């Protein structure tokens, strides 16, 4: 029996990972959650290092996937201590406990560790985060590497997938503005048309993570840093147009482009930098 612990199993990506892994024969999956626990998850605050260590000792997983994080750039900017607790300190504590048990650790990171000026990026490209979120995730990557030599960082871009509310994904968070623009009294919604993103479907990511875990189960674990993303580059304006079409909304959308860059540069955490 191959056992995997998914830390942050109730989140957008965590749910997709659990669904994918639970379908594998001879695999056992145990998930943790905090703000949105379910009957099938273990209630656990990843900021509690002792509780995290006890959980790993008790469950004795062969591998852990860290999908828990503070991913909202504005929250990270306003509350850097919270960002550090979730994105850095928790990763270090989980990796340390996993290392003591010989478990492989996969930590989910982001392309926000780059500044977006010289894409496409490789795993060995020099990071240059622009905001508190990117800095905290980069510190988390380094915390993993400093704590265990039996782990991997998977950097992902903008994610979308099955949601519990529109705000859960940066993609679907555009829907209220799109819907408002389609209303009779609504104003046209302005969407940037210069920042290029690669929206990535969470079930596809879960499939890739399952393949990575299979390699570990066969004794050929991946280490270091890897990148994966969807293959269709789009601007936020193009994403909004697609969403409007999919939801059959007659949305009125106005693109704005590179002329706004100088304004956004003064507030980089509010800009649409790589996610």
Rounded to two decimals, the pTM is 0.88
**Residue 275 in domain:** no
Domain count, the chain: 2
Structure tokens at 10: 């109730």
Q: Is the dihedral of CA 66, 57, 149, 62 positive or negative?
A: negative
Q: Tens digits of per-residue pLDDT, 131-157? A: 999 999 999 999 999 999 999 999 999
Residues 181 and 206 both lie in one domain? no
**For a pLDDT cut of 90, what percent of the chain falls above it?**
68
pLDDT at residue 186, rounded to an integer: 63
Residues 98 and 211 both lie in one domain? yes
160: closest CA among 57, 236, 75, 91?
Answer: 236
- If pLDDT is split at 50, 70 and 90, which confidence band does 270 have? very low
Query: Residue 74 sits in which domain range?
Result: 2-160+200-227
Distance between start and end Cα atoms, the chain: 35
Q: Is the dihedral of CA 55, 61, 65, 67 positive or negative?
A: negative
Is residue 22 scored above 50 in pLDDT?
yes
Is residue 275 scored above 70 in pLDDT?
no
The CATH number covering residue 89 comes to 3.40.50.720
Across 172-184, average pLDDT: 85
Residues 145 and 176 both lie in one domain? no
Contact 27, 2 (CB under 8 A): yes
Q: Which residues touch 125 (CB under 8 Å, ≥6 apart)?
A: 114, 118
Is residue 271 scored above 50 in pLDDT?
no
- If pLDDT is split at 50, 70 and 90, which confidence band does 262 have? low
**Residue 86 in domain:** yes
**Residue 266 in domain:** yes
Q: Which residues touch 64 (CB under 8 Å, ≥6 apart)?
A: 4, 5, 6, 7, 56, 94, 98, 103, 104, 105, 106
For the annotated catalytic residues, the residue numbers are 133
DSSP 8-state symbol, 119: P
């Amino acid at each position: 029996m191959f056992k995997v612990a998914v830390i942050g199993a109730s989140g957008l990506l965590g749910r997709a990972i659990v669904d994918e892994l639970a379908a594998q024969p001879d695999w056992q999956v145990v998930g943790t959650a905090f703000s949105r626990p379910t009957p099938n998850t273990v209630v656990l605050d990843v900021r509690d290092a002792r509780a995290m260590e006890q959980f790993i000792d008790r469950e004795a997983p062969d591998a852990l996937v860290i999908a828990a994080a503070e991913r909202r750039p504005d929250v990270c900017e306003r509350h850097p201590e919270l960002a550090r607790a979730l994105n850095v300190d928790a990763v270090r504590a989980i990796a340390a406990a996993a290392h003591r048990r010989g478990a492989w650790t996969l930590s989910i990171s982001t392309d926000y560790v780059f500044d977006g000026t010289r894409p496409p990026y490789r795993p060995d490209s020099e990071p240059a985060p622009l905001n508190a979120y990117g800095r905290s995730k980069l510190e988390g990557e380094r915390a993993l590497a400093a704590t265990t030599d039996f782990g991997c960082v998977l950097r992902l871009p903008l994610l979308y997938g099955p949601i519990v509310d529109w705000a859960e994904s940066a993609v679907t968070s555009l829907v209220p503005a799109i819907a408002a623009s389609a209303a009779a009294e609504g104003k046209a919604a302005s969407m940037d048309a210069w920042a290029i993103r690669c929206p990535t479907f969470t079930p596809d990511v879960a499939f890739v993570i399952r393949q990575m875990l299979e390699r570990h189960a066969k004794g050929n674990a991946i280490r270091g840093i890897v990148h994966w993303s969807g293959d269709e580059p789009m601007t936020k304006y193009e994403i909004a147009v697609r969403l409007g079409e999919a939801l059959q909304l007659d949305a009125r959308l106005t693109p704005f482009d590179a002329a706004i860059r100088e304004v956004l540069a003064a507030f980089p955490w509010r800009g649409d930098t790589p996610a």
